[in-house]
């Protein structure tokens, strides 16, 4: 039996990610009590209570957190600054704060600026999700067996005491995700944002591009087969969530969009010239890189 890690956990945002998290915390017995924070009037609030993801719903984040020893931001990343500012005065010293956001450099900066020095923010990015939304699609096993990337803050020469406090906080966050059967990997926020640009944000842009091109002739949809379905699946993701992701990782996304555009141009030129060898080499390199990447996958 897993030992209860926390007395009171507050999850801010009770959509798919937040509600699934609540279900997993309860399933694994990781907290004595789970508070949820939702927007005033949102039907998600009642739903999250009904499915047992949370014990109580709040609409004021500052009212939810004072008793909490762990606070998890599970809204869209773009709402983090306002939420951090709202909870900052209400957090008790020693509270752990983390998130489930898809970008980290900007988030760590906000946390450093907006949260009090008496609490620890350790960034988390559980690599789990779905193109579906809302607590009605929540699943107790959404996070199970997936990878959670964890970013401790940079220490900026604060001295040994602060360093060991950050280490202890990081350890607790690692144990929290591991307790719900996730693998964890520590890395710094910059490296995190580089990785996810490559394996998540550019793929999302590619899926959207593909849907936009094909959507110019809806009739062609009649001939859709499995390849199109898989290649474009993520294009149904939540536009507001992805707007925040692209904008908070804009340096990496912009840089890699250049590479993406160049690679399409290269393919196009080879096709225009009917250069069979150049087309073949393009496809061979793509296949080879694809297989190398998949072989590195840190999967259970």
43, 112, 163, 203: residue in contact with a second copy (rule CB under 8 A): 203
Burial 194-232 (b: 16+ CB within 10 A, else e): bbbbeebbbebbbbbeebeeeeeeeeeeeeeeeeeeeeb
Written as six digits, the tokens of 246 are 């692209």
Q: Distance between CA atoms of 67 and 106, rounded to whole angstroms?
A: 27
In this structure, how many other beta carbons lie within 10 angstroms of the beta carbon of residue 239?
A: 10
> Given the complex with a second copy, which of 50 and 145 has the nearer CB atom?
145
Of these, 1, 117, 160, 213, which contacts a second copy (CB under 8 A)?
213
- To a second copy, the closest distance from the beta carbon of 194 in angstroms equals 7
Binding mask 240-259 for a second copy (x = CB under 8 A): x-xx--xx--x--xx-xxxx
- Spatial separation of the C-alpha atoms in residues 97 and 122, rounded to whole Å: 6
By residue count, the chain amounts to 300
The footprint of a second copy on residues 91-150 (CB under 8 A) is: 127-128, 146-147, 149
Among 157, 159, 161, 222, binds a second copy (CB under 8 A): 222
Choices 5-13, 64-72, 155-163, 197-205 (CB under 8 A): range interacting with a second copy: 197-205
Contact by Cβ (8 Å): 146, 126: yes
Q: Quote the least distance from Cβ 105 to a second copy, whole Å.
A: 15
- Report DSSP letters for 203-248, one per residue: HHHHHHHHHHHHTT-GGGGGG--HHHHHHHGGGGS-HHHHHHHHHH
- Comparing CB distances to a second copy, the nearer of 168 and 283 is 283
Helix (H, G, I), strand (E, B) or coil at 275: coil
Within residues 54-93, the interface with a second copy by CB under 8 A covers none
Q: Considering the complex, state which of residue 176 and residue 195 has its C-beta at the smaller distance from a second copy.
A: 195
Enclosing H/E stretch for 19? helix 16-27
> Interface with a second copy by CB under 8 A: which range of 15-23, 27-35, 173-181, 200-208?
200-208
Task: Tell me the closest approach of the beta carbon of residue 78 to a second copy, in angstroms.
Answer: 8
Q: Which of residues 270-289 bind a second copy (CB under 8 A)?
A: 271-272, 274, 276, 279-280, 282-289
Which residue in the set 62, 88, 181, 260 belongs to the binding site for a second copy (CB under 8 A)? 260
Number of residues binding to a second copy, judged by CB under 8 A: 91
**Nearest distance from residue 270's CB to a second copy, in Å?**
8
Give the footprint of a second copy on residues 148-187 (CB under 8 A).
Answer: 149, 185
Task: Provide, rounded to whole angstroms, the least separation between the CB of residue 14 and a second copy.
Answer: 22
Which residue is associated with the tokens 């087309």?
A: 279
DSSP 154: P
What is the C-alpha to C-alpha distance for residues 268 and 216, in angstroms, rounded to an integer?
20
């Amino acid at each position: 039996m897993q030992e209860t890690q926390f007395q009171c956990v507050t999850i801010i945002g009770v959509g798919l990610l937040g509600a699934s998290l609540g279900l997993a915390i309860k399933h694994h017995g990781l907290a004595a009590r789970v508070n949820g924070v939702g927007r005033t009037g949102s039907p998600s609030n009642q739903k999250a209570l009904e499915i047992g993801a949370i014990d109580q719903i709040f609409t004021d984040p500052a009212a939810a957190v004072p008793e909490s020893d762990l606070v998890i931001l599970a809204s869209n990343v773009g709402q983090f600054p306002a939420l951090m500012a709202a909870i900052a005065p209400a957090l008790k010293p020693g509270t752990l704060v983390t998130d489930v956001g898809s970008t980290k450099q900007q988030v760590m900066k906000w946390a450093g600026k907006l949260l009090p020095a008496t609490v620890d923010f350790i960034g988390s990015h559980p690599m789990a999700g779905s193109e579906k939304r809302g607590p009605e699609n929540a699943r107790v096993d959404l996070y199970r067996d997936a990878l959670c990337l964890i970013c401790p803050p940079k220490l900026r020469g604060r001295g040994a005491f602060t360093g060991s406090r950050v280490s202890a906080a990081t350890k607790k966050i690692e144990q929290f995700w591991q307790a719900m059967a996730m693998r964890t990997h520590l890395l710094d926020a910059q490296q995190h944002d580089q990785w996810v640009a490559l394996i998540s944000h550019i793929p999302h842009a590619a899926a959207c591009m593909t849907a936009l091109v094909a959507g110019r002739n809806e009739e062609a949809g009649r001939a859709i087969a499995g390849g199109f379905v898989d290649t474009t699946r993520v294009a149904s993701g939540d536009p507001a969530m992805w707007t925040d992701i692209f904008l908070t990782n804009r340096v990496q996304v912009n840089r890699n969009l250049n590479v993406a555009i160049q690679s399409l141009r290269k393919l196009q030129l080879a096709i225009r010239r009917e250069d069979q060898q150049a087309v073949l080499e393009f496809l061979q390199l793509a296949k080879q890189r694809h297989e190398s990447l998949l072989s590195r996958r840190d999967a259970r």
